[in-house]
Amino acid sequence: MKQKTRIKYYNEVVLAGVFLALFIAFSIISPSFLTLKNTMTLLSQMVELGVLTLGMAATMISGGMDLSLGTLCSMCTVTLSIFIGTNAWGEGTAMLLTLIIALVCGAFNGFMIGYLNIQSMLVTLGTQSLFKGIGLVVSNGLPIKIPTEKFALWGRVRLWGFLPFQVIVYAAAIAVTILIFNYTITGRRIYLVGSNTEVARFAGINIKKSIFLTYVFSAFMAFVASLTYTSKVSCGRADLAEALILKTVCASVFGGVSTLGGIGNIAGAVLGVAVITIISNGLDMMNASVYFQQIVIGGLLLLVLAFRHGKKK
């Protein structure tokens, strides 16, 4: 039993070690890295990727993959900006309406995947294009501005002068997700559905409902990410978060979440996000090109995987 727990958290310990090593290495190499300002920047850079990764990790644990997360988040930034900027409605109303839109989109995904039993990648490939299309049509393909004095809380307010509010949002999202997936029956059911659908069926689990809820949850995370993103850039655009989607897969896999479902840990995915963000932030500080960062992240991903799978054999 003891040995099992050690293997269970082996991956997370390694990742935390990698993160610490990178943190120390960058602090020594670059004098501007280990400052309060940059540390806070580093934290706030994690937020959108991190929140979306929580949704992605959830769907991957359930045995699927939500490719529509990025465009759903972008679509939410567009609707938020239209409600607050163009229509000048209250922030509460705008957020509530956007939340409803996001949940409906998530429910659509969940219905198609859970109740109609269609492969998640097929469905979300379609809705990915659909959500982007809706965002583009609604916004006429233009970025929609919000007056800078409005909607500042989620992405631009710093508590006590240094702590970005969005970091607290991220922390809350992590806490809720870990709570759901590690300590509630619904969360453990999703794990079982992901690892073995047949066994889950024999155990009397309502598989359809579990999968449905997973996609509603990931849509909720897309909504949360859209709050901080819209506020941070003060505008909404239909392709804002699209490029993040492959990074969320990258971070989840990095953190030990298997694409085959049932395996992985939310904490691991969070650490995966941290490692990816610190690599790009640290290399930024050293004036390395963005393309070099891409090579490093891609190479590291393959190395980690080769190591992990090689060991299994």
Provide the binding-site residues for another protein, judged by CB under 8 A: 65, 112, 116-119, 121-123, 125-134, 136-137, 140-141, 246, 249-250, 253, 258-260, 289, 291-295, 297-299, 301-302, 305-306, 309-310, 313
Residue 302 CB contacts under 8 Å (≥ 6 apart), including other chains: none
CB of 246 to another protein, least distance (A): 6
Q: Output phi, psi for 153, to 5 deg.
A: -55, -45
CB of 219 to another protein, least distance (A): 16
Cβ distance to another protein smaller for residue 167 or 271: 271
Cβ distance to another protein smaller for residue 72 or 267: 72
CB of 256 to another protein, least distance (A): 12
Residue 53 CB contacts under 8 Å (≥ 6 apart), including other chains: 247, 248, 251, 252, 269, 270, 272, 273
- From the list 89, 88, 58, 65, the residue with the least C-alpha distance to 224 is 58
The burial of 270, by beta-carbon neighbours within 10 Å (0-12 exposed, 13-18 middle, 19 or more buried), is given as: buried
Cβ distance to another protein smaller for residue 118 or 168: 118
Determine the Cα–Cα distance for residues 258 and 140; give it in Å rounded to an integer: 38
Cβ distance to another protein smaller for residue 74 or 177: 74
Beta bridge partners of 164: 158
CB of 135 to another protein, least distance (A): 8
Residue with tokens 């239909």: 238
Cβ distance to another protein smaller for residue 116 or 185: 116
CB of 311 to another protein, least distance (A): 11
Tally of CB atoms within 10 A around 166: 28
Cβ distance to another protein smaller for residue 108 or 154: 108
CB of 14 to another protein, least distance (A): 17
Cβ distance to another protein smaller for residue 88 or 243: 243
CB of 91 to another protein, least distance (A): 27
Where b means 16+ CB within 10 Å and e means fewer, 34-59 reads eeeebeeebbbbbbbbbbbbbbbbbb
Cβ distance to another protein smaller for residue 38 or 218: 218
CB of 243 to another protein, least distance (A): 9
Listing DSSP states for 82-94 in one string gives: IIIIIS---HHHH
> Do 289 and 201 meet the contact criterion of CB atoms below 8 Å apart?
no
- From the list 66, 14, 27, 71, the residue with the least C-alpha distance to 240 is 71
Determine the Cα–Cα distance for residues 237 and 79; give it in Å rounded to an integer: 9
